[in-house]
A and B are shown apart, each in its own frame.
Chain A
Amino acid sequence: MENIGALALLLAFCFAVYAIIASVAGKLKSKPFLVTSAERAVYSVFFLTTLASGLLLYALIAGDYRLSYVAQNSNKAMPLAYKFAAWWGGQSGSLLLWAWLLSLYSTIITFQNRHKFRDMMPYTVAILMVVQCFFLLLVAFVISPFEVLVQGRGIVDVGDGQGLNPLLQYWTMVIHPPILYLGYVGFAVPFAFAMASLITRRRDDDWIQTTRRWSLVTWFFQGAGIILGAGWAYAVLGWGGYWGWDPVENASLLPWLTSTAFLHSVLMQEKKGMMKIWNMVLVASTFWLCIFGTTLTRTGLVSSVHAFAQSSIGGYFFTFLAIGIAATIYVILDRLDYLKTESQLESVLSRESSFMFNNLILVASCFSVLWGTLFPVISEAITGEKISVDAPFFNKVNIPIGLFLLFLTGIGPLIAWRRSSLDSLKRAFLWPTVASVLLVGVLMGTGIRHVYALMSFGLCLFVTMTIGSEFLKGAFAIRSRTGQNVVAAMVELTHRNTRRYGGYIVHMAIVIMFIGFTGKAFDKDTTVNVAEGQAFQLGGYDMKVREVKNGENDNYAWSHAKVDIMRDGKVLKTLEPERRNYKASRQPTSEVSIWRRLNEDVYLNFAGVEGDRAVIQAYIFPLVSWIWIGFWVLFMGTIVCLIPPKRRDVNATPTSRKSTVVRQPVEEAQLTQ
């Protein structure tokens, strides 16, 4: 079986190389059969990587402990879902997942465009296959997941494995890595189209039209992967931290920030034919930051809590990054003439300007995270002295930037394209500003003095009101014509311009998440050493340890506590935190128990046993649930953005800037633009 798996990967690598050569040669020599042949090679790569992945999964589930990867990442006692998750639980398996997902994406793209973009597609295929070759090179020749355990001249079956890292044996960890990878890998597609567009010297925006939805879905997956990772950290690591500014966490945030900037600035290109160079830079940066993120995760360039995924393949990644970035810069610089701006700015007070500021802040935020992540390495290289750049640094730099971004989220959508007058801005922002100032005053009256928290709550209300007013303004316009009720009118409004109003829902999701982040300023915690029947207090609750039990199963030994959460003598909830010691890996983990509510989470961690007493870490995390709610709103907003709008301008050409809104009556323009 291992031979078939290794052979499949080797053949996949050969087909990927062939696809590059055949597609480029077919295009340059005008031999369509070569291009078609290259596209079929893409399908073959998908088939072969699927075969290799299937074989690895079979080995993990069936327990083929002759394979080194299986012995290191799986064991007999593990539940089936975690045996499946072991596919990406180790180094070579996760690289195989990368390769498999890319082959899947490449197949979809090649099939979808088999009759379209015949000039661009050979290069798109070639670029995707270059990336594919890199990952196949690693799994076929450098760290194969099909390596067998050898002793002397014979293959050894160790009988049982070490099991998946216990920290990864959690439900979000079954879906967090593949979803994050759907994002990481997915950005290869818009990048490949963008580069192909440049190589073929196209002046149009077809690559943007083609990849718009793709970029949005990929962006969502990247965000979802980050949130799931945060959810995992919150529920598994035992201290309630959902974001620790760990280098690997930062690495996943970087491409999300640049892709968010791209999703905004791409509108400038679609509607006004502006910022073409910038969009190329953003899409390329996003893709290379994805590779950089994978590099950080896989190579341990900077010390990280994600140490379970490190190895010595850094040289390959850095070489790929250096060559790839150099080639990208060359292509962009060489084709600058094809990226000329087609129109002009009319006013500083315009949507165009707000997009520029939004992009500036998003990219600055990305830069500050990247800078902070790499600064220890840079500083040590220059000064020779090691330094630490931990959460306090990132918070100091990124919180003001984040708040400014939140502010722009409220302002941007209310500024008109081309130009706005001061009068119209005053009208739009007067009440949101008044309400925000009032809220801050009220909060200060209740004793809150945390400056950033006050600013954040104020801005959250400001943005909510500006978004709400946009919905209401449009809904009332529809109601006045159709007589529908306001809710139905809002649905109608959203359906007419799903991209715009879906975007507002996404903005609302960000606001909701900010409310959750702000709760961090009011966290409370205590660590106590208590016996059965004893109680302690935190945040207005009495917490009584009702029972402490010990036991074991095939996979782990456990200590389990039942803690009654009480107020005024009344039991409100019983939480049951657990401490586990996994037998195969001899690693302890905490199964925290959380009472989740909108206003605050009560979070208990069974941290250990001292004699007959339990050590309990208790936390109150205000508003943290809003982060997870924000995620679902984000999901909903993205889905709305992806739904085709109900009405379209029949005169519209593919590039929407050619169909000017001036031809439409004002009301129609407001609803459909």
Chain B
Amino acid sequence: MNRRSISTIALFLVVTGLSIPQTATTYLTPEIRRVGDKLACKCGSCNNTVATCQMLECHYTSPARTKIATQLKEGKSDQAIIDGFVKEVGLAALAAPPAEGFNLLGYVMPFAAILLGLAAILVYWKRFKQPAAAVQVEGAAPSPPPTAADEKYRKQIEAELAEMD
């Protein structure tokens, strides 16, 4: 094979190689997404995570994703990578504060508020509950057990009350 043929084949291979449709480049792998979901994007105004920030050249997210990808390749665990961000940026690096110390209050308060509200409803209910209609008078004969007719009327009243609404 002469030199000219080799050059022609080489050129053909290069052109063919370039002509093959390129496989799509995914910028966000599931691994990066997994770690990035726990980290806040600190670009200044967006409320997204490193995984969900969609600004293409975000000055925070783009290098953060590269860093996550590199450290994952190095074999670092998710937690070790996240700890590294926290060491560098502070707790603000996390998308949600850790549930410890004062920040635990952040998670507890909404549910504590619900419990407090439930207690308030209970108090309200006790205070404004209608007293029992029939009070057993001391010394009086006990009420007879409900008859079939009583039961029938009770059911009818309940049905009518339900239908009224």
Contact = CB atoms under 8 A, between A and B. Distances in A.
Do A and B bind? yes
Contact of B107 (A247, A397, A420, A536): A397
B8 interface: no
B56 to A, nearest CB: 5
Interface string B122-145: 001100111000000000000000
Interface string B15-36: 0000001101111100000000
B113 interface: yes
A661 B24 contact: no
A390 B48 contact: yes
Contacts of A423: 155, 158
B138 to A, nearest CB: 25
A669 B106 contact: no
Given A387-B103, A537-B24, A670-B164, A345 B117 contact: no
Interface in B87-113: 90-97, 101-103, 106-107, 109-111, 113
Nearest to A526: B26
Contacts of A351: 165
A390 B40 contact: yes
B117 A360 contact: yes
B26 to A, nearest CB: 5
Contacts of A241: 48, 52, 54
Main secondary structure of the interface of A (DSSP, over half): mixed
Interface stretch (A189-197, A363-371, A628-636, A647-655): A363-371
A388 B24 contact: no
B7 to A, nearest CB: 26
Nearest to B97: A387
Nearest to A351: B165
A303 interface: yes
A458 interface: no
A537 B22 CA distance: 12
Contacts of B130: 344-346
B162 A416 contact: yes
Contact of A303 (B44, B124, B161): B44
A241 to B, nearest CB: 8
Among B130, B161, B165, the most chain A Cβ lie within 10 Å of the Cβ of: B165
Among B28, B124, B163, B164, max chain A CB count under 10 A is at B164
Contacts of A536: 24
Interface stretch (A140-148, A214-222, A375-383): A375-383
A303 B45 contact: yes
Interface string B37-61: 1101110111111001010110000
Contact of B22 (A239, A246, A363, A534): A534
B74 interface: no
Interface in B58-100: 90-97
A389 B25 contact: no
Contact of A239 (B25, B54, B114): B54
Contacts of A401: 110, 114
Given A389-B97, A420-B162, A528-B24, A360 B121 contact: yes
A415 B162 CA distance: 8
Category for how many chain B residues contact A: 35 or more
A416 B164 contact: yes
B6 interface: no
A243 B141 CA distance: 66
Given A344-B128, A367-B110, A661 B158 contact: no
Interface string A588-601: 00000000000000
A673 B44 CA distance: 54
B125 A392 contact: no
A475 interface: no
A245 B95 CA distance: 12
Contacts of A554: none
A393 B92 contact: no
A666 interface: yes
Interface in A538-588: none
B21 A383 contact: no
A223 interface: no
A324 to B, nearest CB: 23
Contacts of A345: 125, 128-130
B118 interface: yes
Given A371-B110, A390-B96, A244 B164 contact: no
B156 to A, nearest CB: 10
Contacts of A344: 128-130
Contact of B113 (A348, A356, A367, A386): A367
B14 interface: no
A9 B117 CA distance: 45
A368 B162 contact: no
Contact of A417 (B92, B158, B165): B165
A391 interface: yes
A608 B160 CA distance: 67
Contacts of A363: 117
A17 interface: no
A84 B56 CA distance: 32
Interface centre among B38, B54, B155, B163 (most CB of A within 10 A): B54
B159 interface: yes
Contacts of B41: 390
A434 B160 CA distance: 25
A639 interface: no
Nearest to A239: B54
A396 B96 contact: yes
Contacts of B38: 392
A418 interface: yes
A614 B163 CA distance: 64
A345 B26 CA distance: 61
B90 to A, nearest CB: 6
Given A379-B103, A392-B95, A530-B22, A666 B164 contact: yes
Given A305-B47, A360-B121, A391 B52 contact: yes
A527 interface: yes
A605 B55 CA distance: 11
Given A364-B113, A388-B92, A533-B21, 13 more contacts: A244-B46, A305-B46, A346-B130, A364-B110, A371-B106, A372-B110, A388-B97, A390-B41, A393-B96, A419-B161, A421-B158, A423-B158, A424-B158
6 contacts: A237-B54, A371-B109, A387-B103, A390-B49, A391-B95, A526-B26
Interface of A: 237-239, 241, 244-247, 274, 303-305, 307, 341, 343-346, 348, 351, 353, 356-357, 360-361, 363-364, 367-368, 371-372, 375, 379, 382-383, 385-393, 396-397, 401, 415-421, 423-424, 428, 525-531, 533-537, 605, 607-608, 615, 617, 661-662, 666-667, 669-670, 673
Interface of B: 21-22, 24-28, 37-38, 40-42, 44-49, 52, 54, 56-57, 90-97, 101-103, 106-107, 109-111, 113-114, 117-118, 121, 124-125, 128-130, 155, 158-165
9 closest cross-chain pairs (CB), A and B: A239-B54, A368-B110, A536-B24, A388-B40, A528-B24, A393-B96, A416-B165, A360-B117, A344-B130
